[in-house]
Structure 1
Amino acid sequence: MALEFASLLALAAGPASPANLPAQPAGPTLLETAAKALFPVVAYIALAPVLWFFFRRTWRELDVMAHEHQKKTLAEGRYDYRPAVLFVITALVLTLQEYYGGRDFYERHIRPALRDLEIDGVTWVNLRRYNELYGYGWWAFTRVFGYIGVPMIVWKIVFRKDSLLDMGLRIRGFLKHAWIYLLCLAVVLPAVVIVSRAPDFGTYYPFYKLSSRSWFDLMVWEAMYFAQFFALEVFFRGFWLSGLRTTLGSGAIFAMCVPYCMIHYGKPYLEAAGAVVAGIALGSLAMRTKSIYSGFLVHVTVALLMDLLALSHRNALPTSFWGG
């Protein structure tokens, strides 16, 4: 608004000239841009020995298991269809989400249907107040159904003998590995606090921009946000690794990092680049604990903190439950 007002004053003063043109904000220098672009490479090199130290035994166990499985499969003259089915499901799910799980589809198809319900007197529909929240509800639904519903249904039809609980969904033994969850938080949370001071952080989070209107808005948003994180963990750390570990061994973890990084495109650069390390660490953790729950808890804890820090830095935390 201030820049627009300055432009109007300049026009009123007379023809544009270097003296009365509004000053353009200085952008990062080439050196600063290069440093930001190359920082993930330095971080990968620095973190590689740490990841190797913590997970080398898990990676080797996966490779041995995959070797034995492949040797047995070849000896029996069989073919393992799991990688083919999994990659096709992944391509289909991510493509459907890209084209039908976003705001455009919601505005063209879901919003008109909600408007008809509102006209018919359905009391829980209030487009004027909650249209943006409904849009994110559609986004969360497509993630949950796409990441859990589609792969689980198709997998059970094709591989009837496989137990879906083996996709990291068993709770047994979770407390035994709780210390790993706490260790991850001890490493990640200070970094989140530091990154939260970045200029683009406060304007990017939370995704739902009306979260500051009321605690109700914030709580409903976080519930949907958490649900899609759970679905994401089931898909990438459960479905993906369970389906590929007997074929690719530890390579399944690194293969999973490719689509996992790509779904972060559009977010801040360092967050997308950090998804590679997060994918390796969370994937290795899921294989070590045979559970997705530690990764899920790390994800939602960090996500909640990021939203709260962003709101706090803008002095925009809700002040009432329902809002005005």
Structure 2
Amino acid sequence: MSNVETKPLELRCGAAVDGERPAGAARVDVLTARDVPLGGPRAMTVRRTLPQRARTLIGAWCFADHYGPDDVSVTGGMDVAPHPHTGLQTVSWLFSGEIEHRDSLGSHAFVRPGELNLMTGGYGICHTEVSTPRTTVLHGVQLWVALPEEHRDAERDFQHYAPETVRIDGAVIRVFLGSLAGHVSPVRTFTPLLGAEIVLQPRAALTLTVDPGFEHGLLVDQGQVRLADTLLGPAELGYAHPGIDALTLTNESDDTARTVLLGGTPFEEDIVMWWNFIGRSHEDIAKARDDWQNSSDRFGAVEGYPGDRLPAPALPNAVITPRRNPPRH
């Protein structure tokens, strides 16, 4: 998915300074979303929880949009024209609906509920995302992962994976990246990551063993879910600091709750994010923008989309300033 804000923020993101915490203590910070329209007279609105002032990364997860349930007969659904990416991987995960994906690698695939589409932008790629005519309600998440310095110019790649369903303690879990509850995803990432959909039955409680070197974020799609001692509502993301070896999720409602659990080792590099690009300096971003505007071979071309490319917004007339995660206590 493209970041289609007309004036996207230019961010320099960096690792926080870690501090000592009591062993096993699970402190949870609550991150709220802001609404971002995807554009057009019947804009589909997404709820963005990353990046924000309170937190820019969770592991290498650097961007999280949560959308729907969206009645496409009212909004027109999703129609994102060819647009570029650098220095990142895109992760598409749906709860309902269907999205057609095309990219300059030549991939033509569909995003369906319970199936992962992961695209590696690396040095440069472009793609389109369009909800299909079969879609009546569109609902899901779109996530980005920052690539580390040694791999930020990686070759274009596309992976599709349908994880098996794991049932445990009143929960249904689908692990699409990393490992959890005894299941390991084979999908390649460039830093240690976790990504899983967790559906909790009414009043169910689930304790999961996790990597204490990871930080975690639990995004609630529906229901009221308690993460450790903190209650989270729909569209809220609970951030759990590193240093814990178990997470307890409790559905506090009489209805089914659905969440997405993200995790990873703290990302220790400074990165600059602007529009659909991730680099290490303002010059990196300006060069990527120029290459896209000038239709260079860097990004290739998408075949089969009946429309024009998205033009890049104008660069801000400002010096990039550091914008970091808050210190961990």
TM-score range, shorter chain: under 0.3
The structure with the largest strand share of the pair is 2
Higher-Rg structure is 1
Q: TM-score normalized by structure 2?
A: 0.21
The structure with the largest helix share of the pair is 1
Q: TM-score normalized by structure 1?
A: 0.21
